[in-house]
Amino acid sequence: MKCLDKGVVAWLTGLPGSGKTTIARMAERALKDMGYRVEVLDGDWARTTVSEGAGFTREERMRHLKRIAWIARLLARNGVIVICSFVSPYREARRMVRNIIGEEAEFIEVYVKASLDTVIKRDPKGLYVKAMRGEIKHMTGISDPYEAPENPDLVIDTESTSPEEASKMLLEAILKAIK
């Protein structure tokens, strides 16, 4: 197992269904195969563990993402490569996350880009259908905004990039950051 003096945090942001977790998991497997210590933190895991019961208002999302940022920072400062997969829809939240993590670790903001039409067609969890029926409040892209990053470190357009190509792009960015 390769032990880094300091890890890195790759923060994947994008609409629900854009491919964040798929890309994160594929990159995780590749990095582990290379002998690195890697953790993937994603929204589903976080909302059933460290942020159980967290809601989806702006304030609740900010508090939720702040918790995750501190966990990612702790892992990274201990030599772990951390891949975070969170919608994180607000620029303010991503700035906060970058500031928390950036004090002790390299931070890579990755915009996993896909249009609203595309993610509605994909809709792996049926969330968009429920949101359009009014069953889900504060749904990013429907009743709550997604503020696309203005200057991300990496953009992965999943409408024109396969999951394999996307994970390779992420892997290359992470390996460059730890060199």
CA 115 → CA 19, 55, 119, 148, 165, distances in Å?
Answer: 12, 24, 6, 11, 18
Give the three-state DSSP class for 160.
coil
Q: Are 143 and 74 in contact (CB under 8 A)?
A: no
Q: Are 6 and 77 in contact (CB under 8 A)?
A: yes
Active-site residue, from 18, 51, 85, 88 = 88
Give the three-state DSSP class for 46.
helix
- Residues 47 and 54: their CA atoms lie apart, in Å, by 7
For this structure, is 51 an active site residue?
Answer: no
- Residues 86 and 35: their CA atoms lie apart, in Å, by 25
* Catalytic sites, residue numbers: 88
